[in-house]
Amino acid sequence: MRLSRLTFAAAAALFAAAAAAQTYPDRPIRLIVPWPPGGSVDVTARYINEQLGKELGQPIVIDNRSGATGNIGSEAVARAKPDGYTLLMNTLPIATGPALFPNLSFHVLKDFVPISVVAEAPHVLIVANRVPAKNVQELIAMLRAQPGKLSYSSAGNGSNFHMAGELFKELSKTYALHVPYRGGGPALMDTISGQVDFSFPSLTAALPQTNAGRARALAVTSKARSPAAPDLPTIAEAGLPGYEFTSWQIMLAPAGTPPEIVARIHRAIVETMKSPTVRERYAREGTIPMSTTPAEAAAFLKGEVALWGKIIRERNLQGE
């Protein structure tokens, strides 16, 4: 009798999940961005949330949950009910987190279902206006002449800014003090104000500031020049051969989210990325819109966790 009750309960749960998947979504969806407003992930999310909401038939509400290099917002999604109404938009720190923070309360590869990689974008090396370096070679010369005297900001340990800066230091054989912040927006603002000397913000976030003359852009981090800033050289062509760094954004759901709901969200992302409005917004900021299958997104995330974990361990980088 007990076994039959358990079997009935399991069948009922499966039926309820299937019914929920058929009616999904029937209320607004919360998209958690684990970074403050103004950073690259926040901008990407806000560029697509309106169109994605139209595709799904429900509003997408952005919820900024910053702190702990994105781990606070990521944990909130990992612990959320897996019903498709709480999603996560994150970037590189979700892949660097396992190596930097061995005591994370969630498992990146087990507690999430990747839905799609949605964007790829270059970063840009900027300096505060008070810094006299006018190009990459002059900045490297300053760093070599004053080891440890200059500082660079990042969105936190393991963030895109941080990894871009570590790669720059490694290839240029220089040293600068790393100053981590709670997100890309504050890191960018303190570079503009001159509290730190240089930084590697996303091109999306930095262009309005550098175009207004609030900071000076020296070069983009990507392999090729960006159509959004064609006059800016790449770091490689400006004096540091071999340098290349781009960031990405990925959308995830809590583990256990029904496959039908994951597929529904994925279809909406594919259509969203075809939108001329979304593509125009991305192109204007130098961001490449993307849509991958959930399986491709999962394989990509697994590869990034392995790649950056190896780099972090080799360089003995530490989390906060």
pLDDT value of position 255:
98
Question: What digits encode the pLDDT tens for the residues 26-37?
Answer: 999 999 999 988
pLDDT, tens only, 70-111: 999 999 999 999 999 999 999 999 999 999 998 999 999 999
Q: Tell whether 233 and 220 lie within a shared domain.
A: yes
pTM: 0.82
Position 18 scores a pLDDT of: 58
Report d(CA 52, CA 268) in Å as an integer.
6
Domains held by the chain: number: 2
CATH number of residue 192's parent domain? 3.40.190.10
- Token output for 209: 């500031």
Confidence of residue 9 (pLDDT cuts 50, 70, 90): low
Burial of 255 (0-12, 13-18, 19+ CB in 10 A): middle
Between 74 and 22, whose confidence is greater?
74
Same domain for 239 and 128? yes
| β-sheet with 151-154: strand ranges across | 177-180, 151-154, 198-199, 124-127, 216-220
Residue 292 · residue 117 · CB < 8 Å = yes
What whole-number distance in Å separates Cα of residue 83 and Cα of residue 61? Answer: 16
What does the pLDDT average to over 173-201? 94
Residues of the domain holding 37: 26-120+247-315
Are residue 161 and residue 274 in the same domain, yes or no? no
Q: What is the dihedral of CA 119, 94, 114, 299, to 10 degrees?
A: 90
In this model, does residue 311 exceed pLDDT 90?
A: no
Say whether both 200 and 86 belong to one domain.
no
**Residue 192 and residue 56 share a domain:** no
Q: Report pLDDT for 85.
A: 98
In a domain, 18, yes or no: no
Q: What is the DSSP letter of 233?
A: P
Asked, for residue 80, whether it belongs to a domain, the answer is: yes
Answer whether residue 13 is part of any domain: no
Mean of per-residue pLDDT scores for the chain: 92
116 and 159 share one domain: no
Q: What is the pLDDT of residue 286?
A: 82
Of the candidates 281, 279, 260, the residue with the CA atom closest to the CA atom of residue 270: 279
Query: E-strand spans in 34-180?
Result: 60-64, 86-90, 112-122, 124-127, 151-154, 177-180
